[in-house]
Each structure stands twice: as C-alpha cells, then as structure tokens.
Structure 1
C-alpha cells in the first residue's frame, strides 16, 4: 500500500513539474468540474492562435484581456478544449493567469527578449 502511495505521489510531482516547465500551461487553482463531477479539468494549456482564430473579436479587447473576448478565443486555443461556459465559470484568478499566457502570444519577439533581459 505504501509503495502505491509513493508511486502516485511521484506521478503527481512529475505531472506538476511538466506543467511548470511549460510556460503555456496553467495549473488551475480551482479545477473546473463538468458533467456532475465526471470530468475534472485541473490544468489548461494554450497554444499561440492563428489570425483566423481571432475572428469576430477586437484586438484591442484581447490586449485589454476583456472577459468576453477571452471567452471567445480561449476555447479555440485550449487543451483540453474549454467551452464558453467553462470560461464563464472559471475562477477569476485562473482567468487572469490564462489571460497573461494569451497576452504573451501577442508580444513581438523583440519585446519578449527585452523583458527577459530585464528580469535576468
């Protein structure tokens, strides 16, 4: 029994480390629960959107991390795929973190390099 607990703990630590190593993955402070507890989403990975995935949304709203704009774009770029309902029910702290990841996608490489050099 103790070995099973140790193995489960090791797997949890490995998955947390993997998520922490991926700057585009956020481990949710408050997991999302779907279908009467049948599916629990505890982490979300975002990928850089293509221009077509930004359709129907104002770029200025996205830059300002407008909740309505994010609720339209996040389902298009998230793994697992979030629904607009999921985004509407996500903890505000988690939404801010996902918005920060998204905002990073909008920054030019030169600006990212400048920020990294300032923090080093």
Structure 2
C-alpha cells in the first residue's frame, strides 16, 4: 500500500468528521452546587439517542417534562432533575430555545440568522 494514499485517506476522513455543535447559555440566576456556582451551561446538539423517550414535538414546544429528560444528557455541567425543577423559568426558556434551535434543519437555522 502506498503511504501517500494512506495519508490522503486519513486526511479526508478527519476533514469529513462533523464538528460537535455547542452553544453556551449564560444563566440569569446561577445554580449553586455546594460551594461552586454555575453561571453558564454549555449545550451540545443532541444526537438521536439523547432524544429517546421524548416526543420531538414536545421538545420543539419546550415542554418542561421533555426538557427535563433531554437537558441532563446534553449539558455541561450536566444538569440534575432537581436543578431543572428549581431553575429560573427564564433560564429554562433560554436552554429550551437552544435545544429547539438545534432540531431545526440547517436551512431554517440559516434563514433565522
């Protein structure tokens, strides 16, 4: 096997790997975890597995129960059920909007920007 061809194949594979989409949300009301304070949450674009057990319509409509299932799977630091229940509604709306935005087709996202 020609080393040049192997190198080209590896370069192509790396270049074709999709970048993980993320968005950071600054919380209006920080979350306290013991002595630590969480001021912002990074949200990753969910893969299909992270959406298991919820209706996509519910997620798009920012249903609290659906978001409570999905957010712990796609946030960093990972939110707990208790933190989501106690969260400022404005922060939940911000997080839900990010998740709903990730579910839109690329053309719809580009049109809204």
TM range (shorter): 0.7 to 0.9
> Unmatched 5+ residue regions in structure 1?
1-22
C-alpha distance in structure 1 between counterparts of 2:38 and 2:86, whole Å: 12
Secondary structure at 2:50 match in 1: helix
Asked if residue 111 in structure 1 is aligned to residue 108 in structure 2, the reply is yes
TM-score between the two structures when normalised by the length of structure 1: 0.73
Q: Alignment partner for residue 62 of structure 1, among 52, 59, 65?
A: 59
C-alpha distance in structure 2 between counterparts of 1:88 and 1:48, whole Å: 22
C-alpha distance in structure 2 between counterparts of 1:91 and 1:28, whole Å: 9
> Unmatched 5+ residue regions in structure 2?
1-21
Secondary structure at 1:24 match in 2: strand
TM-score between the two structures when normalised by the length of structure 2: 0.77
Q: Deviations over 1:43-99 (max 9, x none)?
A: 001000110110111111111100010011000000111111111111000110111
TM-superposed CA distance for 1:28, in Å, is 0.7
Q: Alignment partner for residue 88 of structure 1, among 82, 85, 88?
A: 85
Q: Which runs of at least 4 in structure 1 moved beyond 2 Å after TM superposition?
A: none
Structure whose residues are more often helix by fraction: 1
